[in-house]
Amino acid sequence: MPLSSTLVAIKAINLNQFKVEFDNIRCTTKTMSLLSHPNILNVHCSFIVGRRLLMVMPCMFGGSLQSIISSSFPEGLPERCITIVLKETLNPLSYLHNQVNLHRDIKVRNISNGCGALSLRILGGDSLAYDTGYIVSRSMWSFDITALELAHGRPPLSHLPPSKPSDRCGNNGGGADDIEEELG
């Protein structure tokens, strides 16, 4: 490989999985290309082929924190590591909020490790949203769930089928007490 070459990753997203209009995708990818923060994984460019969104971005050799935790820390990260990860995740979240944008998909698998530097990935047509004033709490709730996943090696209520955790956290009972009870 020539010295001037840059290794990149291409993320392919099947748009059939999302109920998002092409205009929304175009707006999101445009916004993503304008973001400039050391802890946000940049997108060099993106394009649509058929019903697939292809995003060209830096290759993160360390992988996602989800893969690191599942392979080496199944019971969760040490507290000192959690502190660093949360700080390095709050920095780009604060940046996004100051730019009047929200990350709507904060989770351990969207935090990448690239040679010791953590980056928050913003992927998919529905990950980034313009803040309408009330969605910030959703972003912070996701951040809290991410903290629990870092500490315990899995998200709260992950033993339930995918539709069940949200049912238990809604108005029909459950919520924080169930999470606390499950995680001990």
Active site residues: 105
Distance CA 136, CA 109 (A): 20
Say how many CA atoms lie within 13 Å of 17 toward its Cβ: 8
Say how many CA atoms lie within 13 Å of 84 toward its Cβ: 11
Give yes or no for a contact between 62 and 113, defined as CB atoms under 8 angstroms apart: yes
Pairing between strand 8-14 and 45-49? unpaired
